[in-house]
Structure 1
Amino acid sequence: MPPTTRSPQVMLAGVQWMFFILANTIVVPLTLGQLFGLPAEQIAFTLQLSCVLTGIVCVLQALVGHRYAIMDGPSGVWWGITLSLTSAASASGASISEIGGGLAAGFILAGVMMTVLGVLGAAQHITRWFTPVVMSVSLFLLAVQLIMHFFTGMLDIQANGQMNAPVAALSAAIAVLVGLIQIKVRGWVSNFAMLIGIIAGWIAFELCFPEARGTVTHSVSVTPLFPWGTPRLDFGIMLTSFIVGMINMSNTITALSAAGKLYGQSPTESQYKRSFLLTGLSTIAAPLFGLLPFGTFVSSLGLLESTKILHRQALAIGGGLFLILGLFPALGLWFSQLPLSVGSAVLFIAYLQMFGTAFRSIQGQQIDAKGFYRIAIPILLGMSIMNTPSSVFIELPLAIRPLVSNGLVVGILASVVLEFLARRPKQASAPLSQAESMK
């Protein structure tokens, strides 16, 4: 029998959600602030606003939005596109402030599009394009992208390109600890494997590497709007923003559809509308302060699968605690000292569950021998691009370079196109026989 909303387990789950949100979002404003050459005070202020806005949106989504324990935060798809565009700008000699201004305008456009389409009930039309096969491909590629990112974080790669072996060893030990707690420990303790891993790992890191402890400062100042650059219209960035905005909406549909299976109740059109409205409005507000557009985190499913705690109140508690971190800059900056390797090790294990979610998305689908190409081509194409250096695409036009160089985006688009082109016979072909599958 699940715990009641007043259960101490739900309170602990809320703390765990706070750390989950922290580990997923805290590095984004720090990375982008350095990328755009912002001063330390401005980065600190952006970090504070990121905590406040993310916490508010998570609380609202849990209580009045989609009402699932699925967090909203700076979108990983938008993060990849932003990194790709800025690196391309540096290589081509373009001004980073011009790219930043174009991104700000593109982000606002994407937020307006999501808000309008969401309120008009576009979800039911988008779901026709994003079949179970497309959702499975999306989940699989997102899991691969995240696992690769967290594995790199576990290694603590240095400027010379080599890993920090002692830190990597501790990361591996933390990952093993979290995995053992989830697999071997029974009862409610296993539901908090991630929280235990973060606390124990952080303590162990401080004891083993005291010299790595950062200096916390809370000297912040109010900054002007649009710290990345004055908004400007750029056709290439606008086109990219439109396509990525649609993919970001598809991630919301994927997340809510998969969550509905966990909750045993499919999301309604009203839930989609409320979710798109909140995500869209937060996306419009984000570029005003130098933040990434928001998105519904499909990766939240990994936490739900691991903990089996589905109470939306837990997310509301976690979002509220994260909001408090933003209201008290010194406290927020202290939590921002969470070692990247520790957070990466814990999330590496938590996100392994996404592979199971991806496979379950196509359970019951009758897929014949040729139909498997619709799964293999997008996944393998996306993974191939993910493992290709961004410098390979430098000769492509700037208008399409961010799309073509992003394996997740290309894989999802390829899956949508293949699903559209697939010609299903009236009588579905028989699934692969055992003999065929062994060939």
Structure 2
Amino acid sequence: MKNLLGGIQWAVFLIASSIAAPIAIAHVFGMDSGETTLFIQRTIFVLGAACLIQAFIGHRLPINEGPAGLWWGIFVVYAGMVGVMYPTSSDALQALQSGMIVSGFLFIVLALTGVINKMKKLFTPAITFTYLMLLILQLSGTFLTGMVGVDSSADRVDGVLFLGSLAVVLVTFLTMNHKIPWISRYSVLISIAVGWILFLAVGKATFITPDMDSFIRLPDVFVYGKPVWDTGIIVTASFITLLLIANMMASIRVMESLLKKSFSVTPPDRMKQGSIASGVNHLLAGLFSAIGPVPISGAAGFVGATRLSSLKPFIIGSVLIMVMTIFPSIMSVFAALPPAVAYAVTFAIFTKMVEMAFLELAGESNQLRAYKTAAIGLMIGVGIMFIPQQSMANLPQAFSAVLSNGLIIGTVIAICVEQFLLWRESKQLHN
């Protein structure tokens, strides 16, 4: 029973943290409600399958897969190219699904050639701290705007929504830190249930009538046509894959650190297997015309809050996700989760990530070097977050999507700075 409840909690967390991306992408491509529902179905199905693949043959850690933010940005960029470089939205989406397949093969090749193991050495405590802080800073604005109901500059703060979100945050904090073990273990599930009921009571959520038009529907494959050779997307996918590997490594590194410090568990090094599994997951994303998945760093905050470090509930949750996607009636209910509730619960979970970031930094032997590395990485990464994406519209699509991502650029800069400082220290020792 404990594993089943934990699995349900994982399933709810995965949906709540992943559903925004397919909805947003469907919107920019002008999909109608039916197309949007199917796009959500395919994406969530792939995410559930990706979690299982990682659990059985990949890194074997309780890290949920989510739509990669880098791919999200590429989708948005390609949506702007419809009518310019691509005649229709389907043509652009066909190129993107081909890009997923290219990325999948590249993941596997880099793992088999040993490049992955060499890259792992770059993720020191200072780099992990910088990555986590940039991730938190990048998402904190999204959490807060979602909690107050502001989607654009024309919107006004919704007081009722904000008070409701604040109540959900407080409930999440109380349950996460409760002395009764089962309450803290299922804090996310309890908080989402309480928040959903509260929002129904104040009129900020609606009762959903399940879609009963079709009882079972399996996700379609190659929705936009067979893979095509597109030089632009191949170059883009190759560059994006290298950055996704860095993202994957950081997420695995964060979870390994949490398991060692909080659960006294030292997981085996399976970075190579994790990369191969990520390659398979991207091949699935291309096959099912979905968004490329990546291990989510927020999983560490979730595990830290719920104490669900075992793989069993994680696997059960992943199976539940895949089963739910083939029942449109169930998916329609979960899709009705008030976004503000999801944002509020995730906001509380990510406070654990801040704690973890500073614990990582404290574990660095050379504190002065770590401070310099983090300072430069954070300054550049956060600075990029304030540059409007529209100002990079004249750049090639691959560069535009990457250079506008403060998380990736800040982390890469921090790696370069630290490697330079290490090289300089080594040179001084030999002189």
Do both share a fold (TM > 0.5)?
yes
Aligned counterpart, 1:425: 425
1:144 to partner: Cα distance: 2.0
Distance 2:398 2:63 in 1: 33
Distance 2:229 2:241 in 1: 16
Which one of the candidate residues 173, 176, 181 is aligned to 1:182?
A: 176
Aligned counterpart, 2:335: 336
- Greater alpha carbon shift after TM alignment, 241-250 vs 302-311: 241-250
- Greater alpha carbon shift after TM alignment, 369-378 vs 163-172: 369-378
Structure 1 segment 127-138 matched on structure 2, within 5 A:
127-138=120-131
1:167–1:137 distance in 2 versus 1, CA, 3 Å: same
Which one of the candidate residues 124, 137, 144 is aligned to 1:151?
A: 144
1:232 to partner: Cα distance: 4.8
Q: Secondary structure at the match of 2:308?
A: coil
Q: Is the 8 A contact 1:240 1:402 kept in 2?
A: no
Count of residue pairs the alignment pairs up: 420
Aligned counterpart, 2:384: 385
Match status 1:238 vs 2:234: yes
Structure 1 segment 73-84 matched on structure 2, within 5 A:
73-83=66-76
- Encode CA deviations 1:317-362: one digit per residue, 9 max, x unaligned: 1111112211211111211111111111101101111112222223
1:225–1:323 distance in 2 versus 1, CA, 3 Å: closer
Aligned counterpart, 2:15: 22
Distance 2:319 2:219 in 1: 25
In structure 2, stretches of 5+ residues that fail to align are none
- Encode CA deviations 1:41-86: one digit per residue, 9 max, x unaligned: 2222222223332222223322443222111232233223433x14
Distance 1:213 1:91 in 2: 39
Distance 1:385 1:328 in 2: 42
Distance 2:266 2:157 in 1: 44
Match status 1:37 vs 2:30: yes
Which one of the candidate residues 82, 89, 98 is aligned to 1:105?
A: 98
Q: Secondary structure at the match of 1:161?
A: coil
Q: Is the 8 A contact 2:70 2:402 kept in 1?
A: no
Match status 1:253 vs 2:243: no
Amino acid at match of 2:268: T
Structure 1 segment 411-422 matched on structure 2, within 5 A:
411-422=410-421
Amino acid at match of 1:204: L
Q: Secondary structure at the match of 1:247?
A: helix
Structure 1 segment 311-322 matched on structure 2, within 5 A:
311-322=310-321
Distance 2:362 2:83 in 1: 45
Structure 1 segment 8-407 matched on structure 2, within 5 A:
8-83=1-76, 85-86=77-78, 88-89=80-81, 96-157=89-150, 160-183=154-177, 185-209=179-203, 212-213=206-207, 216-217=210-211, 219=213, 225-227=221-223, 231-264=227-260, 265-269=265-269, 271-367=270-366, 369=368, 372-407=371-406
1:412–1:69 distance in 2 versus 1, CA, 3 Å: same
Q: Is the 8 A contact 1:255 1:298 kept in 2?
A: yes
Distance 1:106 1:315 in 2: 29
Distance 2:29 2:297 in 1: 28
Q: Is the 8 A contact 1:175 1:348 kept in 2?
A: yes
Distance 1:203 1:417 in 2: 49
Q: Secondary structure at the match of 2:374?
A: helix
Q: Secondary structure at the match of 1:400?
A: helix
Q: Secondary structure at the match of 1:73?
A: strand
1:402 to partner: Cα distance: 1.2
1:214 to partner: Cα distance: 5.4
Aligned counterpart, 1:436: none
Q: Secondary structure at the match of 2:81?
A: helix
Distance 2:277 2:163 in 1: 41
Amino acid at match of 2:404: S
- Greater alpha carbon shift after TM alignment, 197-206 vs 324-333: 324-333
1:162–1:228 distance in 2 versus 1, CA, 3 Å: farther
- Encode CA deviations 1:17-55: one digit per residue, 9 max, x unaligned: 111111112222222222222232222222222333222
- Encode CA deviations 1:284-322: one digit per residue, 9 max, x unaligned: 121333311111111100111112221110101111111
Distance 1:249 1:153 in 2: 29
- Greater alpha carbon shift after TM alignment, 123-132 vs 363-372: 363-372
1:182 to partner: Cα distance: 2.3
Distance 1:427 1:365 in 2: 21
1:98–1:421 distance in 2 versus 1, CA, 3 Å: farther
Give the alignment's TM-score, normalised by structure 1.
Answer: 0.86
1:229 to partner: Cα distance: 7.2
Q: Secondary structure at the match of 1:66?
A: coil
Q: Is the 8 A contact 1:280 1:294 kept in 2?
A: no
Percent identity over the alignment is 26
- Greater alpha carbon shift after TM alignment, 386-395 vs 338-347: 386-395
1:52–1:91 distance in 2 versus 1, CA, 3 Å: closer
How large is the RMSD of aligned CA atoms in angstroms?
2.9
Distance 2:40 2:111 in 1: 28
Distance 1:177 1:370 in 2: 40
Amino acid at match of 1:178: T
Amino acid at match of 1:147: S
